[in-house]
Amino acid sequence: MKIEEYLEDKKQLIDEALDQYLPREDQYPQSIHRAMRYSVLGEGKRIRPILALASCDACGGNLEEILPVACGIEMIHAYSLIHDDLPALDNDDFRRDRPSCHKQFGEATAILAGDALLTLGMRLFGRPSDCKVCCAVLETMAHGAGTDGMIGGQVVDLEVKPQDRDQPTLEYIHTRKTGALIAASVKVGAIVAGANDGAVEKLTRFGECIGLVFQIVDDILDNEDYAVLFGPAKARQEARHLTDKAKEQIAFLGKRGEVLNQIADLLVSRVK
């Protein structure tokens, strides 16, 4: 299967599962459930949950065990986008070519929809059958989404003006605001599969590298941060270096790591 076909197949699988895990639109109170579904089921590549599935599969894991966890990851991601779009943060009126959640449903409902998705996502992290695995998944995702991860990166992104950002500051922001959830997605896939500590560590480093690549490429496309500080050509060179470094981490997987390698190539070469 070509990587594009793989991504579309897994996206459809995840979308179908998300539809089942999310509360129905007609379930009372309807307003919050409509807002949740609107924000999660809109257009999206599902990169984070797909990485969890691919990592789990590469380590010989079970799809039924990782799928609810992957859906929880997408809910955490959706919650972060809802809150990021709010007037107090980035103040974005549109998300994925349609009104952002707060423009469609109002700020109060949007805040609560984000809270509800965070809570439901954490609930799904308790679905694996092994209690020790559940604990490890919860710890990993809470760390990736908290002040040591995504939230911490968002705070520094708000506090430090673009003109005051040097390379260490940019790395702090990007490895947390964007990279932490991507790295956690890859890591929990390995955890759910029952991979040994060494494999989990290498896959985590793979996730950290491609998480930073993802944001560097965003900066190049938007002419922000890395592209401004280093110039587009040097930023692109750094993204390719990190991609090579990521692939080195999972060389031990052999052919089982091919999907992850191809996803890394897609992330560094994307044009939108």
**Mind listing the pLDDT tens digit for each residue in 169-210?**
999 999 999 999 999 999 999 999 999 999 999 999 999 999
H helix count then E strand count, the chain: 14, 2
Which whole number is the average pLDDT over 113-127?
A: 97
Positive or negative torsion for Cα 123, 74, 205, 157? negative
Positive or negative torsion for Cα 31, 17, 174, 235? negative
pTM of the model: 0.96
Q: What are phi and psi of 95, to 5 degrees?
A: -140, 120
Structure tokens at 44: 């999206």
pLDDT for 71: 98
The domain locations on the chain are 3-269
Per the prediction, the chain carries an average pLDDT of 96
CA dist., res. 100 & res. 92, Å (int) = 7
DSSP 23: P
pLDDT 10s digits, 212-264: 999 999 999 999 999 999 999 999 999 999 999 999 999 999 999 999 999 99
Structure tokens at 28: 């009372």
211-221: buried (b, 16+ CB within 10 Å) or exposed (e) per residue? bbbbbbbbbbe
CB neighbour list of residue 28: distance below 8 Å, 6 or more residues apart:
none
pLDDT for 271: 77
CB of 209 within 8 A of CB of 242?
yes
Query: Above 80 in pLDDT, residue 272?
Result: no
CATH, domain range 3-269 = 1.10.600.10
pLDDT for 43: 84
CA dist., res. 56 & res. 65, Å (int) = 9
What's the length of the chain? 272
